[in-house]
Amino acid sequence: MMRVLITGSNGQLGSEIKELSANYDKIECLFKDLPELDICDANVLSAFITDYNINVVINCAAYTAVDKAEKAADIAEQVNSTGVSNLVYALEKINGKLIHISTDYVFDGNHSVPYKESDFVSPIGVYGKTKRAGELAVINSNIDAIVIRTSWLYSSYGNNFVKTMLHLGNEKKSLNIIFDQIGTPTYAKDLAKTCLDILCGESSANLNNDEKIYHYSNEGVTSWYDFATAIMELGNVDCKLVPIQTIDYPTVTKRPKYSVLDKSKIKSDFKIKIPHWRDSLEDCIKKINTNS
C-alpha cells in the first residue's frame, strides 16, 4: 500500500483528491494543510514525511493569489519555490516520489498555438516567476517526480471564476467579461482523478523519467466571455454578458492572452482520456446546485 501525503489539501484540488481518493485501494492518503503542516517549515515537513512513512507527495499547496503576489513576493516565493525545494529535499532522503502542480502562468501568452512542455517559458508576474522556480526545484532534482501544469482551475470547492459568475449573475442584471484572453478551463475533479490514476495506473513507472513536465487542462478552447456564457446557460442564470477587452479591465498583474496547453504528452504517456471543458463544467454546476 502506497502512503500518499496531499499538501495544501483544503484548496480546490486537494479537496477534490480527498473526495475521490476513497475509490483507490492501492493508496492510503494523508491530507494536510496550514496550519498543521506548512511546506515552508523544512524540518517539520521532513520529520512528518519520515515519521509517517510517506512514499509519495501530491503537492497542492501554493500561494495562488496572482495579484496579491505582486506585493507579497516574499510569501509567494517562500510557498511556491522554497516550499517545493523543502519537499524535494525531504523526499530525496526517503527515495520518495512527487507529483507537483504548476501553472500556465509560466508562459507569457504570446503564442497562437497550444503550448507544449518544451516551449520557452517567460512568466510575466511574481506568481508565474515563483511557480517557475518551484518547477526548477523539481526538474533539477534526482527524485522520481512529475510537474503537471494546469490552467483556469475551478471546482465546487473554494473560490473561483465559476462560483463568482453564478453568484454575481444572480445579483446583477449585466456583467462585463473579457473576450480577448483565450485558454482552457480545468475542472479540479478531472485533474484530481488524473493525479490518482497516474499514481495507481499501469503507466505509473513514467513518474521515473527525465522529461518531468506535463500539461493538463480539459479539452477544448474558449475565452473568459464564452466560458461565462456557458456558466450562465448551464446554471440557468438570467444575466446579460457584455464582451470587453483586457484593456478595459485593468488588473495588477498582466494575464497571458493565450494559454492553451497541448496535452498530447500526458494523454500518451499515461493513457488518460480528458473530458471536454463544457461537459465538466456541466458536472460541476450540477454539484454546486445540489450542494446549495
Ligand X SMILES: NC(=O)c1ccc[n+]([C@@H]2O[C@H](COP(=O)([O-])OP(=O)(O)OC[C@H]3O[C@@H](n4cnc5c(N)ncnc54)[C@H](OP(=O)(O)O)[C@@H]3O)[C@@H](O)[C@H]2O)c1
Contacts of 278 (CB under 8 A, 6+ apart): 220, 230, 234
Catalytic residue among 63, 105, 115, 127: 127
* Closest CB to ligand X: residue number: 11
Shortest CB 191 distance to ligand X, Å: 8
The cell for 6 is 496531499
Scored b (16 or more CB within 10 A) or e, 202-222 reads eebebbeeeebbbbbbbbbeb
Smaller CB separation from ligand X, 36 or 242: 36
Smaller CB separation from ligand X, 83 or 169: 83
Shortest CB 199 distance to ligand X, Å: 16
DSSP 105: G
Active site residue 127: yes
What is the distance of C-alpha 116 from the center of its chain?
Answer: 17
Smaller CB separation from ligand X, 60 or 260: 60
Shortest CB 162 distance to ligand X, Å: 11
Residue 129 CB neighbours (<10 A): 20
Residues 40/77, Cβ–Cβ less than 8 Å: no
Q: Euclidean distance between the first and final Cα of the chain, in Å?
A: 36
Smaller CB separation from ligand X, 40 or 238: 40
What is the distance between the alpha carbons of residues 17 and 9, in angstroms, rounded to a whole number? 8
Shortest CB 173 distance to ligand X, Å: 27
In terms of Cβ atoms closer than 10 Å to its own Cβ (0-12, 13-18, 19+), residue 192 is: buried
Binding site for ligand X (CB under 6 A): 7-8, 10-13, 33-34, 38-40, 60-64, 79, 83, 101, 103-104, 131, 150-153, 158
Helix or strand run (H / E) with residue 139: helix 126-139
Smaller CB separation from ligand X, 61 or 281: 61
Residues 187/121, Cβ–Cβ less than 8 Å: no
Smaller CB separation from ligand X, 106 or 202: 106
What is the distance between the alpha carbons of residues 188 and 15, in angstroms, rounded to a whole number? 9
Task: Give the catalytic positions in this structure.
Answer: 127
